[in-house]
Amino acid sequence: MDDASKQTMSGANASPLGRSHQEFVVNALGQFESQLIRYATWILGDIERAREVVQETFLRLCREQPARISDHLAQWLFTVCRNLAFDVRKKENRMSPLSDADVKAFTPRPLAALEQKETMSQVMRILETLPKNQREVIYLKFQCDLSYKEIGEITHLSVTNVGFLIHTAIKSIRKEMMISKSIVSKRRFAADVVREANGLATVDLKKGGFNENQS
């Protein structure tokens, strides 16, 4: 939690928060702030606007009673953050694509198990070709560790639809990866054939070259 966030929380509204309420907000800030910033950045394509949205999200949290939302805090925070971010994007017509930094921030954990940097970059490129609703549920599931139910409440989708979108997205990624691997394999095979052919030609030349009279 940075100093600006601490000042924002301590100065939220004119009235001070009770100790238990303040602890609730501070704990939420420590647990969810970075995830919310990444999520808002993903929506807006602008990290500064994202920080403003997240700050407003926590200001609104300060005005809520912990008992009313404590059992679904993550869902509440991501819903408020999402709505605010879309409001900002609508007003400013921000449809910017993700920057390289944003792409690096978005690393779904199951896919990251592939580990190899080149493969991960390829996965990220495939993700960017998927429909936005698929990318969003993948992000919320694998980057933010939210349940299908929480994702459904945030995106206004049924749990079944969330599961379908995630399944479809992963299936598409696997398919594209297989196609890509097949293309790479064919290129490598062709390159090996060319190298082998060049190697044989070099050997023949060293032996005295080709005989023009040979049929």
Residue 184 lies in a domain: yes
What is the per-residue burial (b if ≥16 Cβ within 10 Å, else e) of 127-145? beebeeebbbbbbbbbbbe
Let me know whether 95 and 110 are in one domain: no
Cα–Cα dist 190/168, whole Å: 33
Within a domain: residue 215?
Answer: no
Residue that is last in its domain, among 83, 99, 115 = 99
Question: For position 69, what pLDDT does the model report?
Answer: 92
| pLDDT score at 197 | 60
pLDDT given for residue 31 in this prediction = 92
Residue 193 and residue 125 share a domain:
yes
Do 78 and 144 lie in a common domain? no
Question: Per DSSP, which regions of 15-130 are E strands?
Answer: none
Dump pLDDT digits (tens) for 155-208. 999 999 999 999 998 888 888 888 876 665 656 666 665 666 666 555 555 555
Q: Supply the pTM of this predicted model.
A: 0.61
- pLDDT score at 181: 67
71-124 tens-digit pLDDT: 999 999 999 999 999 999 888 764 444 444 444 444 444 444 444 455 667 777
Burial class (CB in 10 A: 0-12, 13-18, 19+), 173: buried
Domain count, the chain: 2
Predicted confidence (pLDDT) per residue in 118-154, tens digit:
566 777 788 888 999 999 998 898 888 889 999 999 9
Which CATH number is 182's domain given?
A: 1.10.10.10
- Same domain (yes/no): 202, 116: yes
Residue 177 located in a structural domain = yes
Bigger pLDDT: 1 or 68? 68
Domain match, 133 and 180 both: yes
Task: Give CA–CA dist 57/183, Å, rounded.
Answer: 46
For residue 65, is pLDDT > 60?
A: yes
Give the range of the structural domain holding residue 93, as residue numbers without chain letter.
Answer: 1-99
pLDDT band at 54 (very low <50, low <70, confident <90, very high): very high
187 domain residue, yes or no? yes
